[in-house]
Structure 1
Amino acid sequence: MSPKLEKFVDYLPIMEAIRPSKTKDKRHYYEIKMEEFSQKMHRDLPPTRVWGYNRQVPGPTIEVNQGEPIEIKWDNQLPSRHILPVDRSIHDSDLPEVRTVTHLHGGETPWPSDGYPEAWFTKDYKEVGPFFQKEIYEYPNKQRATMLWYHDHAMGMTRLNNYAGLAGAYIIRDKHEKSLHLPSGSYEIPLIIQDRSFNEDGSLNYPTQPNDASEELPNPSIVPAFTGDTILVNGKVWPYVEVEPRKYRFRILNASNTRSYSLYLSSNQPIYQIGSDGGLLQKPVEMQVISMQPSERVDVIIDFERYKGQELILKNDLGENASPEDETDDVMQIKVSDSLSAPDKSIIPKRLSHIPSLKGNEIVAMRNLKLVGSSDKYGRPLLLLNNKRWHEAVTEKPKVGTTEIWSFINTTGFTHPMHIHLIQFQVLERQPFDLEKYNHDGSIIYTGPPQSPEPNERGWKDTIASPSGFITRVIGKYGPYSGNYVWHCHILEHEDYDMMRPLKVIDPE
């Protein structure tokens, strides 16, 4: 349990865009270091020991233009011991305790630069994983304008390295988006939402054992899920932001390990969602509550014109069964000033973009992929995909340029955010089935018709909520690159053990 912390006393930090170290042949080159340092997370907390990119948590924002490739050297300068409890029972116990590899989440990236989990490396590349390819990563940036994010993806360590602070925003811009007269400049604000728990001395608190741990469990032992008891936005606990009475664009990322959010405003005013994981929607969607699974992004516009001089709160709906002691129903405070510094000429366009449907493509494969629960030799929860562990042979091998439908059959008791590397996909439908009967005899009996995706899910996605007792169907065209990628649940405690599978995209014959 974190110490009692007063809300809304720290100003919301804005992560500045990093400048390239050099430019050669019109290609920007960056060097970004991973280091250990201390950062103040709240006015009343001592500085917290964290790991960050370029000595900040979250890391610096990387801003690029569509079609302009960049190179990044991700430089591991971390110590040899982790600041969080490392469970050596879940993967090879001989692996280095501190290993990292950065993944650009949502990026259409050649596989040697994708951040494959076994392409990890240690400080100064003294040790490297079996899939390590290169020190300098290449990002073509040929995809639609959107907000992606970069984070650590090392095998078996993703939950710990991200919790320690290794995450940041990556924004791709294009000419079309600039022509829409959306709020921009200081009126466009990225919000990276995370949950954390702290000790009295300001250090990060992360469990060494599950709550119901037995004496037979390893110590430390991985936990099946983790939710912190404080909410951070851009690295501050329950901050406040000052805005003018005008329209603002917020680029929101759920960068928590396990926690999902249901965001709304205390004023009950509408939130206009204009984009999702893969960029702009076809048209704005008026929302009262926006649900976000781990790693999902939403692009929204909020108009504060009617709220001059008021204080609003961005809230998180915890549901009817929330504990009175749980304070994570607040995210941040918004203070609206009395006047404008300049006229608001931004708009919320009626049409945003064109999204061609993949339904007319030739479908070369339809894959049924089961999300299942089991247990390991210690009796700990072991969540798997198609009952296979990470190191078993690759079973998903789409060809470059082909279109497939994947059906995520969730037979567990809770929602999983499913993420596929390399591509942006489209959601087709969700269909409920009798989970009790499935658990009894393994048969799929539908209990209702297919349900169309929500209006704000009808754009490009790279992560989708797969609810318990539903089959969630998505359609994707694989490419433009071949190579070794992965697909997994983006609850970080799940993907570390062992809800992640290799994906091999192969060249056509």
Structure 2
Amino acid sequence: MRLQKFVDRLPTMDKLKPVSRNKDGTYYEVEMREFHQKLHRDLRPTRLWGYNGEFPGPTIEAEEGEKVQVKWINNLPDRHLLPVDRSIHDVAHHPEVRTVTHLHGSVTRPDSDGYPEAWFTRGFRQTGPFFEREIYEYPNRQRPTTLWYHDHAMGITRLNVYAGLAGMYVIRGKKEKDMNLPSGNYEIPLIITDRSFEEDGSLSYPRQPDDAGDHLPDPSIVPAFNGDTILVNGKVWPYQEVEPRKYRFRILNASNTRTYRLSLDSGQPFYQIGSDGGFLQKTVKQEVLSIAPSERMDVIIDFTGYKDSRIILRNDLGPDADPEDETDEVLEWRVSLPLSGKDTSRIPAYLSTIPSLKDQNNIKTIRNLSLSGEEDKFGRPLLLLDGRKWEDPITEKPGLGDTEIWAIRNLTNFPHPIHIHLIQFQVLDRQPFDLDRYNEDGTLQFTGPPVPPQPNERGWKDTIAAPSGQITRVIAKFEPFTGDYVWHCHILEHEDHDMMRPFRVRNPKE
């Protein structure tokens, strides 16, 4: 269904208020529940699931080093509002509605990480095999940055997130306050998602692939899903009125599958100051932002000199795009507000110090890992990490404090955003190889030299796009906690269908 663009104002998410705060930390309670929310002027209210009954959920803000505790409370119905495929990950033997929240990018102990099998049902009546605690702890002993929280339940993450279970989490630091960046009303979170809707305003999500045959389960997981409508902060194609001055935008791609290539139709640049793991070393001037699912980008846009203009945040769909596809636009800025005062904020050239892990010369292990595809027993595409399924024995076991290089070889014909829990990593390079030759006889024949990461990829990352026919190398130090974590593709349909593996950080003394 077609909806008129830029008729609804961009919402700002509520900031979550703590239940209590003392010298030992800050305690929150967050309830997951069903509700209805109007997502566009011409849509009936949509039935959603959300944290505290909001989509997106309220923003949680913490200071660097502030201990935060959150009790994630499941008060959702017993039946899912979207089609559940019961043929994957033993879903048929588990409750239909389960949740477990993962704070994406957080450096936290395994029992607070949101392990996929640490799920729980309404009122904690039933719990998964890895469930250990009702209250999660986030130390926030990491660089100031933009994180996000979302559901991570085994086999239904794609559905729970699509239903609305996602929100932003911001860690702030003292040095940031001295940088004179745009702040207060001039610092805006942008959570970008895509959805499709039925005529009655309800969420539309396919029960089966378009080419489904009689041999497939019903419902059956789809290999990918792009909605036909773009939302920002829970509104379809919104607009925002701004002053002719600098603004800071924390951008999160919270879509299931879609990667965005963002630009401004005015031709002006973005000034990127941060990525997944916080501030870059230097500000990077960008004409286009390519942002894969779950990546975050911290940017400044300068509207000075654009008074009375309308500027559209565009999404490049490529030369072969369907002319009927309306997802080539995201948001409209109207530079229509009077300047409230002199803009004294700045765009700093230098931002932070990022020591190179590679230069520390203590690399313990180099792991050669693959992204590959085969078919499951129903003939559906089955994408795997290093040829293994979730239930196979753990093979990646870095020691606590070990520095490792993971060389991720993409043998499929499309890119995958790869996310590693617990740690932030650095991207070393990407090197192309002859994919057809490799798939024919297993010969690894490089077709070019290693290519260093893009300037805006040279900070700390927890998610990186691994292109087809390339080896993407990242380096990380596995600390400060031991235990079981996961790494996976962050295309949620892939993650749910076995493109996720556990890894274990072991205590070398044991």
Short-chain TM bin: over 0.9
Q: Indicate the residue corresponding to 1:297 in structure 2.
A: 296
Tell me, yes or no, if structure 1 residue 419 matches structure 2 residue 419: yes
- 2:93 counterpart SS class: coil
Shift of 1:25: 3.4
Conserved? CA contact 2:241–2:337, under 8 Å: no
* Equivalent-residue separation in structure 2 for 1:23 and 1:447 (angstroms): 57
Amino acid at match of 2:425: F
> Which letter does structure 2 place at the counterpart of 1:140?
P
Tell me, yes or no, if structure 1 residue 131 matches structure 2 residue 130: yes
1:343-367 Cα shifts (integer Å, max 9, x gaps): 1010001110000100123111000
SS of 1:161's partner is helix
Give, as a single letter, the amino acid of the residue that structure 2 aligns with 1:22.
S
Q: CA deviation at 1:338?
A: 5.5
Q: Map 1:141-156 onto structure 2 (within 5 A).
A: 141-156=140-155
> Which residue type is aligned with residue 366 of structure 1?
I
Corresponding position of 1:85? 83
Residues 428-479 of structure 1 show CA distances to partners (whole Å, capped at 9, x for unaligned) of 0000000000110112110100000000000000000000000000000001
1:456 maps to what in 2?
456
Counterpart in the other structure of 1:372 = 372
Residue aligning to 1:272:
271
Structure 1 residues 307 and 82: CA distance shift in structure 2, 3 A: same
Q: Could you give the per-residue CA deviations for residues 292-351 of structure 1, whole angstroms, max 9, x where no partner exists? A: 000000000000001001111000000100000000000010000253011101000111
Q: Distance in 2 between matches of 1:508 and 1:169?
A: 35
* CA shift for structure 1 position 176: 0.8
Q: Match of 2:107?
A: 108
Task: Please report the RMSD computed on the Cα atoms of aligned residues, expressed in angstroms.
Answer: 0.6
Preserved contact between residue 269 and residue 286 of structure 2 (Cα < 8 Å): yes
1:407 counterpart residue number:
407
Alignment-derived partner of residue 349 in structure 1: 348
Residue by residue over 1:182-208, the C-alpha shift from the partner in whole angstroms, topping out at 9 and shown as x without a partner, is 000000000000000000000000000
Letter in 1 for 2:302: D
Separation of aligned partners in 2, 1:203 and 1:156? 22
Separation of aligned partners in 1, 2:398 and 2:217: 38
Q: 1:126 offset after TM fit, Å?
A: 0.4
What secondary structure does 2:503 align onto?
A: strand
- Give the deviation of 1:234 after TM superposition: 0.2
2:487·2:501 contact (CA, 8 Å) conserved in 1? yes
Query: SS where residue 163 of structure 1 aligns?
Result: helix
The answer to which of 382-391 and 329-338 deviates more is 329-338
* Secondary structure class of the residue paired with 1:307: coil
Q: TM-score scaled by structure 1?
A: 0.99
Distance in structure 2 (CA, Å) of the matches to 1:16 and 1:36: 18
Equivalent AA in structure 1 for residue 268 of structure 2: Q
* Aligned position for 1:428: 428
1:227-280 deviations in Å (ceiling 9; x for gaps):
000000000000000100000000000000000000000101011000000000
Quick one: structure 1 residues 87 and 338, their matched pair in 2 at CA, closer, same or farther if it must change by over 3 Å? closer
For 1:398, the equivalent position in structure 2 comes to: 398
Structure 1 equivalent of residue 220 of structure 2: 221
* CA–CA distance in structure 2, aligned partners of residues 153 and 420 of structure 1: 14
Give the number of aligned pairs: 507
Matched residue SS, 2:373 = strand
Does residue 488 in structure 1 map to residue 474 in structure 2?
no
How far apart, CA to CA, are the structure 2 residues paired with 1:97 and 1:282? 45
Q: State the Cα distance separating 1:128 from its structure 2 match.
A: 0.2
Q: How does 1:45-60 map to 2 (within 5 A)?
A: 45-60=43-58
Which stretches of structure 1, 4 residues or more, deviate above 4 A after TM superposition? Answer: none
Q: Distance in 2 between matches of 1:400 and 1:274?
A: 31
Deviation at 1:22, TM superposition (A): 1.1
CA contact (8 A) 2:206 2:222 kept: yes
Q: Which residue of 2 aligns with 1:383?
A: 383
**Structure 1 residues without counterparts, runs of 5 or longer:** none
Bigger Cα displacement from structure 2, 113-122 vs 87-96: 87-96
Kept in 1, the 8 Å contact 2:373–2:384? The answer is: yes
Question: What per-residue deviation string (whole Å, max 9, x for no partner) do you get for residues 135-175 of structure 1?
Answer: 00000000000000000000001100000000000000001
Contact 2:68 2:139 in 1 (8 A): yes
Q: Secondary structure at the match of 2:493?
A: helix
Give the partner amino acid of 1:40. K
Check the 8 A contact 2:242/2:337 in 1, yes or no: no
Deviations 1:64-88 (A, max 9, x none): 0000101000000000000000000
Read off the aligned partner of 2:402 and give its amino acid letter: T
**Alignment partners' CA distance in 1, 2:370 and 2:269:** 37
SS of match in other structure, 1:197 = strand
Matched ranges for 1:4-403 at <5 A: 4-92=2-90, 93-337=92-336, 339-361=338-360, 362-403=362-403
In 1, Cα distance between equivalents of 2:211 and 2:346 = 53
Gaps of 5+ in 2: none
TM-score normalised by length of structure 2: 0.99
Structure 1 match to 2:469? 469
Q: Distance in 2 between matches of 1:55 and 1:345?
A: 38
Counterpart AA for 1:453: P
Secondary structure of the residue aligned to 2:498 is: coil
Q: Distance in 2 between matches of 1:442 and 1:372?
A: 13
1:508 paired residue number: 508
Letter of the aligned partner of 1:467 in structure 2?
A: P
